[in-house]
Amino acid sequence: MEKHLLLGQTLAFDGCALTDWQAATRHDSAGGVLIADGRIETVGNGSALRAANPEVPVTDYGDALIGAGFVDAHMHYPQTPIVASWGKQLIDWLNTYTFSQEMRLADPAYARAVADTTLDLALAHGTTTLCSFCTIHPGSVDAWFGAAAARGMAVVGGKTCMDRNAPDGLRDTAQGAYDDSKALLDRWHGNGRATYAITPRFSPTSTPDQLAALGALWAERPDALMQTHLSEQVPEIAWVRDLFPGARDYLDTYEAHGLLGARGLYGHAIHLAPREVDRLAEVGAAVVHCPTSNTFIGSGLFDMAGLAARRISIGLATDTGGGSSFSMLRTMAAAYEIGQLRGTALHPAQLMWLATEGSARALHMGGSIGHLGAGATADITVLDLASTPAIAQRAARASDVWEALFPTIMMGDDRAVRDVWVGGRRVVT
């Protein structure tokens, strides 16, 4: 059995930090994580673990903070080359930047190069799992899962299905979406660390027939995830109302076609009607907060406190390329800022929980990824809490771990990521 012991401060969670962060949080200023054959065997006192395992190799991180690898619950790997493009809101963003870029992924070699770049950037920022929309091209899905398998990473992905309101070269049909998605699901779902998500981009780019076809596939394969977008911008909601005049609201365009369920992931979910909130809560669906994207393209302010009070599962995500950063630290900072604007200051423990445990739970992978605890895969991110002079001088004045951690959340970037472990193996970032 191959073992390794990591020493340093440890941060773990047992329960939901959004509802009671103090009860859910486990911090040890002199902790240890014992890895055995790619999984976490024990998290406990570092000295005791070292004494009990004298022959095991040790990596001592000193005062650095050992936590679960970050989990990015909603992003678009094909948009990596256009990240941080100027001046557009959602519909213009798609027409100006996204669609032309996604057409390029018809070339499998190009798709693989973009997937490789995306995953390497994610790892450099401490993210060990990502949930991505691919493009309409099946080869883009193969490229995504293939690149992740080469790195031993757990990822989620799916063919992005569109049969209207998109340019030539990015449209398929209802039957084509079903057939391609089914073949890809059969090929990849559960293959190694791959999880498939049935992926209608959003209601405006799918006809009712295509939504129904994908709903039928999900009914046949309820073990798969389903990801899409919901209520991101006000003009988008008005467009949906015009396209689906018989729908009660935006969520109903999915619900009426079999695309509302507990394994559904609904990105953004900013401008929700009361019925939509009720239905999401009733079925146990997850929503995914994309704060850098929501501010970058002017979408609005996510209601973290209100949705958490309804016990709706919430993940956190970069939404690159609409989001403007690959960093989950920057994403946490943006979530904090939006919380402040909505009147709720998220605690550092809650932000870290959202970026790990919360996102893992949204992906139905809780306890397996995003978790620093026995039995979880050893996907681990180690943070240097004094990575820049500005952060170091503030952390030096901290009276507790939260004051030491918060400057890294607010000002940190890839320089704060001291080490990353994927499946129990150290990644050179």
In the chain, where are the structural domains located? 3-69+370-427, 70-326
pLDDT value at position 48? Answer: 98
**Which CA distances in Å does 405 have to 10, 13, 54, 410?**
12, 16, 31, 9
Q: What is the pTM of this model?
A: 0.97
Number of C-alpha atoms within 13 angstroms, CB side, residue 348? 16
Residue (of 336, 380, 338, 374) closest to 356 by Cα position: 380
Find out whether 45 and 28 touch, Cβ atoms under 8 Å.
yes
How many other CB atoms are found less than 10 A from the CB of residue 370? Answer: 32
Per-residue pLDDT of the chain (429 residues; tens, 9 = 90+): 899 999 999 999 999 999 999 999 999 999 999 999 999 999 999 999 999 999 999 999 999 999 999 999 999 999 999 998 887 787 887 888 899 999 999 999 999 999 999 999 999 999 999 999 999 999 999 999 999 999 999 999 999 999 999 999 999 999 999 999 999 999 999 999 999 999 999 999 999 999 999 999 999 999 999 999 999 999 999 999 999 999 999 999 999 999 999 999 999 999 999 999 999 999 999 999 999 999 998 999 999 999 999 999 999 999 998 889 999 999 999 999 999 999 999 999 999 999 999 999 999 999 999 999 999 999 999 999 999 999 999 999 999 999 999 999 999 999 999 999 999 999 975
What's the CATH number for 3-69+370-427?
Answer: 2.30.40.10
Domain pair 3-69+370-427 / 70-326, same fold? no
Residue (of 382, 351, 354) closest to 9 by Cα position: 382
pLDDT value at position 429? Answer: 57
Distance (Å, rounded) from C-alpha 164 to C-alpha 139?
21
Q: To 10 degrees, what angle do helices 174-188 and 208-220 make?
A: 30
**Which CA distances in Å does 285 have to 56, 172, 215, 264, 312?**
42, 27, 15, 5, 7
Q: DSSP strand E in 56-140: where?
A: 58-68, 70-76, 127-133
pLDDT value at position 131? Answer: 98
Find out whether 147 and 109 touch, Cβ atoms under 8 Å.
no
Residue 231 tokens, joined: 């209520």
The DSSP letter of residue 366 is B
Does residue 321 have a cis peptide bond before it, meaning omega lies within 30 degrees of 0? yes
Distance (Å, rounded) from C-alpha 183 to C-alpha 199?
13
What CATH class does 70-326 carry? alpha beta
Distance (Å, rounded) from C-alpha 136 to C-alpha 127?
25
Find out whether 391 and 408 touch, Cβ atoms under 8 Å.
yes
